Amino acid sequence: MKFYVTIEGVKRLKRSFLNLKLFSIIHVPEILEKYGYTYDTIDEYGSFIVSNKINDLINSYAKSKRIRGIIYSNPTISEDLLPNLFETLVELETITEVVLLDDYYLPKLKHLYPNFDEIIFFPSLKKIRLIESRPIQQMSGFNPRTEKCDKDLSKDFGE
């Protein structure tokens, strides 16, 4: 099972991918709202509660045999949050890869590429199935850990 990380919301995910019913989505703003917090008003106690809720959701979704992956949607994802998230994922045997979903034409998370096993870009023309999408390194020889590419990407993406 793959674990996908993105800053995009559920609306963008629904516009981009066809088979989201096969995935569990953890949308952090929704969890914050459930507990009466926003990104501006959350304190240490609230952060602890929300973090535990997210960890519980990840653990329960990872045990499910009905889903193909987990999508973690957090508009304020940063390098500071990744160690805690990865620490939770390391303990789960069912999570095989951690994948970053980003825009190809306007990459917002390029600084995070080296932290992930794969980078997948949102489709720009039509909806696709998330499980059928190909990681960038399969198409182009791009290595997210080094941010180097072995060939010209403009051929693959029609630029």
Kindly report the number of other CB atoms within 10 A of residue 50's CB atom.
17
Note whether residue 115 is domain-resident: yes
Q: What is the pLDDT of residues 31-49, one digit of tens each?
A: 999 999 988 888 999 999 9
Note whether residue 142 is domain-resident: no
* pLDDT at residue 92, as a whole number: 92
* pLDDT at residue 136, as a whole number: 54
Tell me how far apart the alpha carbons of residues 21 and 18 are, in angstroms, rounded to a whole number.
Answer: 8
* pLDDT at residue 139, as a whole number: 42
CATH of the domain at 64: 3.40.50
* pLDDT at residue 127, as a whole number: 64
Residues with pLDDT less than 50, the chain: 138-159
Domain range for 66 is 2-134
Residue 63: phi and psi, rounded to 5, are: -85, -15
Instruction: State pTM to two decimals.
Output: 0.79
* pLDDT at residue 106, as a whole number: 85
State the DSSP code for 123: P
* pLDDT at residue 151, as a whole number: 43
Note whether residue 46 is domain-resident: yes
Q: How many domains does the chain have?
A: 1
* pLDDT at residue 17, as a whole number: 84
Tell me how far apart the alpha carbons of residues 79 and 83 are, in angstroms, rounded to a whole number.
Answer: 8
Q: Where are the alpha helices (DSSP H) in the chain?
A: 10-16, 28-34, 44-63, 82-90, 136-140, 154-157
* pLDDT at residue 140, as a whole number: 45
Note whether residue 16 is domain-resident: yes
